[in-house]
Structure 1
Amino acid sequence: MITLHVERSSRERITGFRLSGHAGSGPYGYDLVCAGVSAVSFGAINAVEALTHSHPDVKQAPDGGLLDYRADEQASESDQDKAQLILEAMIVSMRTIEQSYGKFLRIHDKGGVDHA
């Protein structure tokens, strides 16, 4: 199972997220849940980096079982706002995957409501 932990500030802004685990919904290379989660998360990170002047801290494990994102707290307010919109859109997409494939993806959003 893939687990997404979303971290938020006291103002409900996303300060980071951590994806861990493997979906196991299909054979390696044919795992559609893994492919969807990967596309959504890396697409969001790439969008933050391309559309803002922020430099988030991103780490991943060589085996692909871990992706850790930390927002750039030094970015301008405008760039932080843009990044927030992108990250909130990522969460919406992840919840859509979770609704259809909840057996393989679980979201924990400390500032929101967990949907199982």
Structure 2
Amino acid sequence: MINIAINRKSSGMIQSFTISGHAFFAERGNDIVCAGVSAVSVGAINAVHTLTGITPEIEQNEDGFLRCVIPVNLPEETNEKIQLLLEGMVVSLQTIEEQYGQHIKMTFKKQEVE
């Protein structure tokens, strides 16, 4: 199963997300759930970088692990753009989860103190 954790600040803004695991929907190379999650998450990271000039902290490996952390203390306008892009990613991932819930699970965590 693909596990996705969306980590929010107490204000509700997305600070980071982590994706791990494998969908096991189909054979490697034919797994549309894995491909969809990868396309949406990497596309969101690329959009953040291209459209805002901000490079998030990225950690990934070939075992299906991806972690993205948004830098702190960004200008408000930049942060608003980043949040919109990341919220769009969340909606897309939730849509995949609705269709393929036995292969993907999303959780949301809220930081108590900023």
Q: TM-score, normalised by structure 1?
A: 0.91
Moved segments of 4+, more than 2 Å = none
How far apart are 1:106 and its partner, in Å?
A: 0.1
1-side partners of 2:73 and 2:104: how far apart?
31
Q: Distance in 2 between matches of 1:105 and 1:32?
A: 12
Residues 37-94 of structure 1 show CA distances to partners (whole Å, capped at 9, x for unaligned) of 0000000000000000222101101x24100000011432111110000000000000
What CA distance in whole angstroms lies between the structure 2 residues aligned with 1:73 and 1:48?
14
Which has the bigger relative contact order, CA under 8 A and spacing at least 6?
Answer: 2
Letter in 1 for 2:96: I
Distance 1:110 1:104 in 2: 20
Q: CA RMSD in A?
A: 1.0
Aligned length: 110
Normalised by the length of structure 2, the TM-score is: 0.93
Structure 2 residue runs of 5 or longer lacking an equivalent are: none
Q: Among all aligned residue pairs of Structure 1 and Structure 2, give the percentage whose two residues are the same amino acid.
A: 44
**1:54-73 mapped onto 2 (5 Å cutoff):** 54-61=54-61, 63-73=62-72
Taking the aligned partners of 2:64 and 2:54, their CA distance within structure 1 comes to 25
Structure 1: stretches of 5+ with no match in the other structure: 112-116
